[in-house]
Amino acid sequence: MHPLSLDHITVGGVTPPELVRIAAACGCTAVNMKIRQGMASFPLPYDMLGDPAMQRETKRRAADAGITIGVVESFVLQPDTKVAEFERGLAVAAEIGARAANIICFDADRARRADTFVAFCALAARHGLKVTAEFFARSELNSLEAATDLARAAPGAAVNVDILHVVRCGNTVAQVRDVAPSLFGWSQISDGPLHMPVERQEHEARYERQLPGTSEFPLRDFIQALPPDLPIGIEVPAKPRLDAGLDAEAWAKEAVDTSRRLLEGWGVALTAP
């Protein structure tokens, strides 16, 4: 059965404790949570790592609601990355009960990024955390093949596979199906047109995706290609609408309910809350 997750950017800049509350209210059993600012261009409106009270409240709410903190973000591998700089973020992730840390990569040197990734995975393992690698077109990890190749470099590492990035990177569902199930650690769904101008793709990914089942992505085939127990994260950011006053919880409920109806209509087994 697939756990259903509310992934953080769906509800914009809500704090981690509020994310957990909203996820529980929507009937999800997991969350993907932003605890660390990865890039200056995508700032967080809270300081999770510097706020022990927020950490305690996040952990308490997750335990009380039975919510799994599946993956935490963002850990960015760059040419000058020193893995030790991630110590604090990984320690906090472990303290709040997270299962895995997600990396993105902007290092074009294949050998160096593999070395950095292996070192990151070793540090994460010391905190009891697994690691997922996320690929997307504007990063240096810009294909499913690149992500699976990197994941194979470290024992237990896996890929975060997002239908949006599968489509925008020019991969196919058939390629997803050909990957060993053990190499997937997380999945994410949204929807959109099959073709999007390159100059619009970053905005789409960060701020304005479509609800699952409302556009052209091959979602049904994608879900069928995944391992049967892989978490399915609902990642449908709608920043313009949230900025215009749309309530984050109302949007989360619409996104989760729409996704659940779609998945259950296809006979997909979801973990009960």
Look at residue 271 and tell me if it is in a domain: no
Task: Give residue 11's pLDDT.
Answer: 96
Rounded to an integer, what distance in angstroms lies between the CA atom of residue 267 and that of residue 258? 15
- Tens-place pLDDT, residues 122-160: 999 999 999 999 999 999 999 999 999 999 999 999 999
* Three-class SS state of 66: coil
Question: pLDDT tier at 272 (50, 70, 90 boundaries)?
Answer: confident
> If DSSP codes are grouped into helix, strand and coil, which group holds residue 228?
coil
Q: Is residue 272 part of a domain?
A: no
Q: What percent of the chain has pLDDT over 70?
A: 100
Tell me the residue range of the domain where 15 lies: 4-265
The three-class DSSP label of residue 132 is strand
Per-residue model confidence (pLDDT) at position 43:
83
Nearest to 13 by CA among 47, 55, 44: 44
Q: Classify residue 181: in a domain, yes or no.
A: yes
Q: Tell the burial category of 165 from Cβ atoms under 10 Å away from its Cβ (0-12, 13-18, 19+).
A: buried
Q: Is 270 part of any domain?
A: no
| In a domain? residue 140 | yes
17-47 pLDDT, tens digit each:
999 999 999 999 999 999 998 777 678 999 9
- The reply to whether 273 falls in a domain is no
Q: State how far the Cα of 223 lies from the Cα of 78, in Å rounded to an integer.
A: 31
User: Which DSSP symbol is given to 208?
Assistant: B
Neighbours of 142 (CB within 10 A): 18
**Structure confidence at residue 51 (pLDDT):** 97
pTM (predicted TM-score):
0.96
| Mean pLDDT for the stretch of residues 74-87 | 96
Q: Phi and psi of 126, rounded to 5°?
A: -65, -20
* CATH number, position 34: 3.20.20.150
Distance in angstroms (rounded) separating the CA atoms of residues 219 and 229: 17
Q: Domains in the chain: how many in total?
A: 1
Domain assignment of residue 147, yes or no:
yes
Q: Mean pLDDT score of the chain, rounded to an integer?
A: 96
pLDDT at 201 over 90: yes
